[in-house]
Amino acid sequence: MAGMGISLRELDPRDRYKLLCGVIVPRPIALVTTLDENGAVNAAPFSFFNVFSESPALIVLGLQHKPDHSPKDTTRNIHRDGEFVVHMVDEALSGAMNDCAVDFPSGDSEVAATGLATLASVDVKVPRLAAAPFALECRRHLVLNFSPDRELLIGEVLRVHAREGLVDEANMYVDLDAYRPIGRMFGNLYTTQRDTFALSRESHAQWLARTQELKDA
């Protein structure tokens, strides 16, 4: 009926997923490395991902189980040792990120399969990807289960590695033109972040002064 909106509880989960992922865009992509029990480096992308706090420094990942209800390798590995590295994805890394979403058999390393080079991390045992613009060494902080198939992982960011030339550490300014991050739209659609614009934040006094000037003009 017109004006009633779409009741999410009445949608089947697939349509709910399509609608929410089509509406809440773009979403950043975390390409997450973990270590399996044999020391193989696992990598997989997650776009139910964001930062939500700086004190403490926390990020969230939405981990969905596989269709057979077993946890994904990433989830299993983080349950076991609590450590992971989140890599931000730039335009150059997008193809490898997509390859890492292939459902390789458990135990097969996406990193070995795709030929991605790794570097040692400092605060966690999990290696990081050399090609990533940013690598965030993380430790599990809290896991919340919302259904048998869905958990929200909250991780603390312990350390950030930045590719040369991306961060001015004097003021922590990130050079977006050099970074070239991608975002996920929905399905297999992605977006670049090249077309940005600025809006300055005003105090109430500044807002009153500006709107008064407009009225007086």
Question: Which positions lie near ligand FMN, rule CB under 6 A?
Answer: 29, 42, 44-48, 62-64, 72-74, 98, 101, 103, 184
We find the least distance from the C-beta atom of residue 76 to ligand FMN, in angstroms, to be: 8
Nearer to ligand FMN, 11 or 185 (CB): 185
We find the least distance from the C-beta atom of residue 55 to ligand FMN, in angstroms, to be: 25
Nearer to ligand FMN, 43 or 167 (CB): 43
Nearer to ligand FMN, 89 or 167 (CB): 89
We find the least distance from the C-beta atom of residue 6 to ligand FMN, in angstroms, to be: 22
CA 140 distance to own-chain centroid: 15
Backbone angles phi, psi at 205, to 5 degrees: -65, -40
The rounded distance, in Å, linking the Cα atoms of 54 and 18 is 30
Name the strand (E) or helix (H) holding 28: strand 27-28
**Which residues contact residue 118 at a Cβ distance below 8 angstroms, ignoring those fewer than 6 apart?**
33, 41, 111, 127, 128, 129, 130
Nearer to ligand FMN, 45 or 155 (CB): 45
We find the least distance from the C-beta atom of residue 162 to ligand FMN, in angstroms, to be: 22
The rounded distance, in Å, linking the Cα atoms of 44 and 21 is 18
We find the least distance from the C-beta atom of residue 175 to ligand FMN, in angstroms, to be: 24
Nearer to ligand FMN, 110 or 137 (CB): 110
**Which residues contact residue 32 at a Cβ distance below 8 angstroms, ignoring those fewer than 6 apart?**
43, 44, 45, 46, 61, 74, 84, 85, 86, 87
